[in-house]
Amino acid sequence: MRRIKASLLLTLVIFCVTNPAEILLIHGFTATTRSTSSIVVPSSSHKNHRLLLNHHKSSALYADAVVDDADMLCTSSSSDDDKNVSDDNSTSSMSASVFNLVKACIGAGVLAFPSGVAAFSDVSISLIPASIILTVLGLVSAYSFYSIGRVCSEENASSIGEAWKKTVSEDTSWVVDASCFVTPIGAALSFSIILGDLISSVVSTLGVKGLMATRHPIILLITMLVLYPLCSLGSLAALAPVSIVGVVSSMLTCAFLGFRYFSGAYSLGGGGALLSGLSQAYQPSFGAKGMQLMSPSILILFAMAGTGYMCHFAAPDMQKSLENSTKARFKQFTTIGFGITTLLSILFTSFGFLTFGGASSGLILNNYATNDIGAVFCRLFTAISLIGSYPIVFAGARSAWFSLTQKGKDVSEELRMKTTRIMLSLVTATALLLEDSGFVVSLNGALAGSAIIYVFPAIMFLKSSSKRLANGTLKMTKKLKLERIFNKAMAGLGVALGLCGASVSILSTFFPGVL
């Protein structure tokens, strides 16, 4: 506890009082990039990511993926500045668009899914209801993603925030901005926790022992040496190639999890060759508590899916960038993209849980031995991917914060850097206190994910269709009536999952005896 308190104090002092870039003698690096944008407006992050596409014509696929990540996090609301930026005329093929969608969804959050199953069961048959849950939520998420793109097209809106203003009200648009802030700040927090776990495991494998092989100093060092300089950049164009690392990392990790399960290297009955390298807490556990389908803990998996399937802020841009975009093609693209995402989510969940059962941790890679070479490479690739994605996620949170607090006013470079230090300090301090990234993933999914995936799209569709029914541009049909009923149910589901999922996530982490 003393070490944690000292780490917290050190973090706050370094980032809130001093300029770490000067201490680390890298001020010249950050100053060079900052000079490109001396005045920053709330939508500047969005501009930088939009311009990134033109900057990387030679590697458009990679750039597109980074742009889509940034758009998902940064464009919750449109400003006059956004409208003055000309839209890029380039389009993406169906396959490239599907790649971008899957990449936007499949990230570090999926590594927590096995622990979502372990929250209510430690028997393999529980993967049947878990797969059903993930499939149903994948279908609902696909519908809401399509619904957002459709409403934005019908309302001539360029973002979910603008669509909300046109369909619901401008006075309540702060709700969308708040969700756009909570979502990326929660993602940044989970990234910091995961980086601490991954890198400390890797350095332990390399023979480092003692304090420097623990997560607290690792999180502090990676924040000061790497994350802060990257989050201070005026342009994120140089991070475009890192996008493909994230995709490769996800594919390799999924293949590795499957290989380790089928090889039996961690099998209890077969005397797994790598079992000796695991602590008791991480060793496979099956049959001790059975399957508890009626337990409130099952809601943790529901909440985690709110993070694993969340890329809905990108729906308007993905619809516009889709080659020969029509409602039918956008529906086909959404179906294929979420179908692949759901399949990968089920595979990650199944392989991880079948290997470790009830002992599956909030970051499944933590379960694998430090001397498992395959796991070492997966940790390393995942860490690189997270470091490259971190400034994009952080820029989304910072942009949303300025949208909430500055209300369209220009933001000076001094304020931008001060906000960066304070926000990064608070995120780092929290990451030092919390050790379970699965908790952050489930809580973020329950609160922000439920609102973005289920509640916001349903309300916008109901308001938009009511308005068009009133002015005569839309006629009531049996299909429309059923769709409106479904959207009301979806909104109710989102509210219920948000409240119940968040409560269960908190109770299971801090008060496990209650459940």
For residue 103, give both structure tokens. Answer: 């990449």
283: left (phi over 0), alpha (psi -120 to 50) or beta: beta
Torsion on CA atoms 299, 301, 307, 312, rounded to nearest 10 = -70
Give the number of other Cβ atoms within 10 Å of residue 58's Cβ: 7
> Do 420 and 426 contact (CB within 8 A), yes or no?
no
Q: What's residue 245's pLDDT?
A: 72
> Do 193 and 437 contact (CB within 8 A), yes or no?
yes
Beta bridge partners of 357: 285
* CA 16 – CA 10 distance, rounded (Å): 10
> Do 238 and 30 contact (CB within 8 A), yes or no?
no
Q: What's residue 61's pLDDT?
A: 33
> Do 5 and 410 contact (CB within 8 A), yes or no?
no
Mean pLDDT by groups of 10 residues along the chain of 515 residues:
53 50 39 37 38 33 37 43 43 83 80 93 96 95 94 88 90 86 86 91 86 88 92 72 72 92 85 80 91 90 84 85 90 94 94 95 91 91 85 84 81 89 93 83 80 93 94 92 96 90 83 72
> Do 351 and 102 contact (CB within 8 A), yes or no?
no
**Secondary structure (3-state) at 209:** coil
Nearest Cα neighbor of 228 from 29, 448, 462, 403 is: 29
CATH level 2 (architecture), domain 2-514: Up-down Bundle (1.20)
Q: What's residue 72's pLDDT?
A: 44
CA angle (295 as vertex; 114, 286 as ends), nearest 5: 45
Q: What's residue 7's pLDDT?
A: 53
* CA 273 – CA 114 distance, rounded (Å): 22
Nearest Cα neighbor of 36 from 214, 238, 258 is: 238
* CA 122 – CA 188 distance, rounded (Å): 30
For residue 36, give both structure tokens. Answer: 């490109």
Residue that the structure tokens 């999914």 belong to: 445
> Do 42 and 399 contact (CB within 8 A), yes or no?
yes
- Quick one: the chain helix, strand, coil %, rounded to 5? 75, 0, 25
Give the number of other Cβ atoms within 10 Å of residue 477's Cβ: 9
Nearest Cα neighbor of 343 from 115, 146, 113 is: 113
Q: Which helix (H) or strand (E) holds 366?
A: none
Q: What's residue 269's pLDDT?
A: 72
Q: What's residue 42's pLDDT?
A: 37
For residue 88, give both structure tokens. Answer: 């890029």
How far, rounded to the nearest angstrom, does the alpha carbon of residue 331 sit from its chain's CA centroid?
A: 23
* CA 217 – CA 72 distance, rounded (Å): 32
Q: What one-character DSSP code corresponds to residue 357?
A: B
* CA 22 – CA 18 distance, rounded (Å): 8
